[in-house]
Amino acid sequence: MPQITLTTLQSLKLKGEKITMLTCYDATFAHAACTAGVEVLLVGDSLGMVLQGHDSTLPVTVADMAYHVASVKRGNQGAFIVADLPFMAYSTCEQTLANCALLMQAGAHMVKLEGAAWLAESVRLLAERGIPACVHLGLTPQSVNILGGYKVQGRQDIQARQMRADAIALEQAGAAMLLLECVPVELAADIAQAVKIPVIGIGAGSAVDGQVLVLHDMLGLSLSGRMPRFVKNFMTGQPDIQGALGAYVTAVKAVEFPAPEHGFAS
């Protein structure tokens, strides 16, 4: 595929064409996803759970992330690579800049941070230094101990208003993309309309600008045997993994996934 850039993704939002994103952790799957037309590869700290077998993302280190970013880069054929900053890797501006430099040097085109408007200063500093930032709002897995578990966020009016305000503040600070996880579909649609930057959803309905799933989830692989409500097994009816990846891209582009049963009401 031609090299996907931020300009490409912004153009897709303006045209109303959905953006496809999947997590990816190695060269082989990077090549397979690119061949299927996946535009964005997210090297997620979800690798702590699906690759390393931890019960959360918290044990993942910056060194882990840099290793997997470099692996994905070697198999990439034009997709846009986003790398997660792991737990406590961005607690100060200085630490954030140093760790982002490591991930960008490993091959990332963008970094992703979990949080809210309190990240605005870090986002501004990153943008000034040529590092695009995606901010992950809603259910933020690194904060699972404060959130009290993996729960839908933004159902209460005060939470919804705050999340919308945070999204706008982060865009103004220079964020180049937002990711909404487990957010009511109405709120996610409102946020996607309120900002000019692409908004990617997971468990956030179909009115956002694109979709992401964990690769292993959409292939029907799970250590626990349980799948989140927002996941669809794209291996069903497909002869092989390449077919499943293609089916995912087709379904997202056609706005057939996510279906109503994959989303959450207010």
Average pLDDT over residues 74-92: 97
As a whole number, mean pLDDT of residues 134-148 equals 85
Query: Which residues sit in the known binding site for Mg(2+)?
Result: 45, 84, 114
Nearest to 138 by CA among 198, 179, 170: 179
Rounded distance between C-alpha atoms, residue 158 and residue 154, angstroms: 8
Which has the closest alpha carbon to 170: 125, 219, 118? 118
Work out the average pLDDT over 230-239. 97
Cα distance between residue 112 and residue 133, in whole Å? 6
Residues with Cβ within 8 Å of residue 211, at least 6 apart in sequence: 18, 19, 20, 21, 200, 201, 202, 252, 257, 258
* pLDDT higher than threshold 90 for residue 25: yes
Sequence spans of domains, the chain: 6-262
Q: Is the pLDDT of residue 145 over 80?
A: no
Amino acid in the structure at residue 171: E
Domain covering 6-262 in this structure, CATH number: 3.20.20.60
pLDDT number for residue 37: 98
Residue 148: the pLDDT is 65
Q: Is 35 helix (H, G, I), strand (E, B) or coil?
A: helix
Task: Specify the pLDDT at position 71.
Answer: 98
Q: What is the pLDDT of residue 133?
A: 98
Nearest by Cα to 181 from 211, 137, 213, 219: 137
For the full predicted model, state whether its pTM sits above 0.95.
yes
Model pLDDT, residue 151: 79
- The arithmetic mean of pLDDT across residues 131-157, rounded, is 87
Q: In angstroms, rounded to a whole number, what is the distance separating the alpha carbons of residues 113 and 90?
A: 8
Examine the residue annotation and report whether 181 is marked as an active-site residue of this protein: yes
B/e letters for 193-204, b = 16+ CB within 10 Å, e = fewer, are eebebbbbbbbb
Run of H or E residues at 82: strand 80-84
List, as residue ranges, the binding site for 3-methyl-2-oxobutanoate: 45-46, 84, 112
Angle at 210 between CA 207 and CA 214, to 5 degrees: 120
Q: Which residues contact 248 (CB under 8 A, 6 or more apart)?
A: 20, 22, 36, 38, 213, 218, 234, 257
pLDDT tens digits for 182-213? 999 999 999 999 999 999 999 999 999 999 99
Given the structure tokens 């582009």, which residue do they identify?
A: 253
Sorting pLDDT into bands at 50, 70 and 90, what band is 142? confident
Of the listed 17, 39, 181, 186, which one is catalytic? 181
Q: Of residues 129 and 151, which shows the higher confidence score? A: 129
Numbered residues of the known binding site: 45-46, 84, 112, 114
pLDDT confidence tier of residue 3, bands split at 50, 70 and 90: very high
**pLDDT value for 101:** 98
pLDDT of residue 229: 94
Which helix or strand (DSSP H or E) is residue 186 part of?
helix 185-194
When pLDDT is averaged across residues 177-183 and rounded to a whole number, the result is 97
The arithmetic mean of pLDDT across residues 161-179, rounded, is: 98
Looking at every residue in the chain, the average pLDDT score rounds to 96
User: Is pLDDT of 147 > 90?
Assistant: no
CA distance linking residue 252 with residue 259, whole number of Å: 10
How far apart CA 155 and CA 173 sit, in angstroms, is 26
